[in-house]
Amino acid sequence: MKKTQIEQGLVWPAIGLLAIGVVVGVTQHGHGALVTAQVLRCAAVVLLAAFALQKRTITAWIVVAMVAGVEVGLDAPKFALQMRFLSDIFLRLIKTIVGPLILGTLVSGMAGHGDLKGVGRMAWKSLVYFEVVTTLALVIGLVAINVTKAGVGMSVPTAAASGTSTGVAAAPAMIHWQEFVTHVFPENLPKSMVEGQILQVSVFAVLFGIALAMLGERGAPMVKWFGLLAEVMFKFTNIVMYFAPVAVGAALAYTVALNGVSVLVNLGKLVLTYYGALGVLAVGVMVPVLLICRVSVKGFAKAVAEPASLAFATSASEAGLPRAMEMMEAFGVPRKVVAFVIPAGYSFNMDGAAVYLTMAAIFVAQAAGMHLGLGEQITIVLILMLASKGVSGVPRATLMVLMATATSLRLPPEPIFVILGIDAVMDMGRSAFNLVGNCLASVVIARWEGVFGSETPSAAVLEGAAE
């Protein structure tokens, strides 16, 4: 309680000082007013840094880095223009994670549920549902960003553009469908991983996972090994993410120094676009699915409210997993369905992240001044239908998928760092909708199997749900 009071005593004065500093800087134009505004904003940064020291989370430090980066970009533009190498270091570290992470999560996800024949109808029904809803979510994100055009006019500099006189990146060459289909299949796994061809790595991982599952118990040691590989890469990711605030601050400082504060308008539009798209996903997809399944929308919303709130607050859908499984069983989904569908959904179903991924990919192209035609945008959806699997429960793990997709489509990575500055805001909604989507999937499969409401939950489950 005391710690919470200290944090609030730091963050609210910081917000106040920041707001006053912004107002003074915008409305007053004298030298004294300018200095006053700078002092107020710097004081706000110091208070926010003290708040982050109390909070001890990467998200808190990213918020501090965002504010500090904007301030450095405004007050010391020459210095800010020399900070780009810090975000480049982060980019290199992220690229080392992508291949092994996707390989480990997909193989262990495919093979970790045992013999594919043994799970029978529930397996293929779950996979069909996961793919259909995920694809709808991808399309919603794609349509939303094309409607709002949040990245247009942002003009984030890229490595390719910095060497040209125009400063405008060229659009990637159109990929014909024959070339795309051929390019899906890897000819050399290490080569695919080195080149960042995540779709090829994903195809290999899916086929390898299926083959491994067909071995049954004999393949258990290798399934365990790939699961351990995924765990190691998650830990590796956690280590690299400690550098994220530095990279975010450097990226925003460089961008603001080069383009001014107008970049923040685009980021605000992106956040509003994302949460608007999540609303469309809820009303246009999830509610109709519940109605088709003849399940109470209000009852479902009440059942998922607590675990979804936990996922929202922690920016990790796995944080609400135990409570979600308990609430779904209390809601009427049999334990055998809950135990299979919800964990499987954490490998194959990420509705909130799917909306984000297509939206962010197109935003990157818009920010770099690229124009992607319908063919390229369909290619993005097809890639993400497969590449997005396996990382739904990890905070900001979609960064790796987005970076890999950008590499595969020859999109510039620089705008991704700017998005990372506001990723904490979008990650909360993303995690919550990933969890809600998996809970909904368990209800759908239970109704599809004809077993929804057929079992009486245990007393422990009912007691927990009543708390």
pLDDT per residue as tens digits for the range 169-199: 444 444 455 665 677 788 888 888 877 676 6
- The overall average pLDDT reported for the chain is 77
Does 412 have pLDDT greater than 80? Answer: no
Residue 253's pLDDT is 82
- pTM exceeding the 0.85 threshold for the entire prediction: no
Answer for the pair 361, 384: CB distance below 8 angstroms, yes or no.
Answer: yes
More confident call, 5 vs 369:
369
Q: So what's the pLDDT on residue 145?
A: 92
Half-sphere exposure of residue 373: CA atoms within 13 angstroms, side-chain side: 8
State the pLDDT confidence band at 465, using cuts at 50, 70 and 90.
low
From CA 140, how far away is CA 352, in angstroms rounded? 11
pLDDT band at 274 (very low <50, low <70, confident <90, very high): very high
83 by DSSP, 3-state: which?
coil
Let me know: does 411 contact 175? Beta carbons within 8 Å. Answer: no
Question: Confidence band (pLDDT; 50, 70, 90) for 437?
Answer: very high
Residue 211 or 159, more confident: 211
Residue range 92-112, pLDDT digits in tens: 787 787 778 778 877 876 676
pLDDT of residue 236: 81
Report yes or no: 304 and 441 within 8 Å, Cβ to Cβ.
no
Most confident of 179-188, 195-204, 364-373: 364-373
Q: How far is CA 314 from CA 307, 308, 324, in A?
A: 11, 10, 15
As a whole number, mean pLDDT of residues 321-329 equals: 80
**pLDDT for 10-39, tens place per residue?**
666 777 776 776 666 656 666 676 677 777
From CA 436, how far away is CA 319, in angstroms rounded? 13
Check pLDDT > 50 for residue 262: yes
Closest C-alpha among 372, 445, 365, 453 to residue 402? 365
Residue range 262-280: mean pLDDT, rounded: 87
Give yes or no for residue 393 having a pLDDT over 50. Answer: no
* Interatomic CA distance for residues 322 and 427, integer angstroms: 20
Q: Which residues have a Cβ under 8 Å from the Cβ of 26 and sit 6 or more positions away? A: none
**Confidence at 165, pLDDT banded by 50, 70, 90:** very low
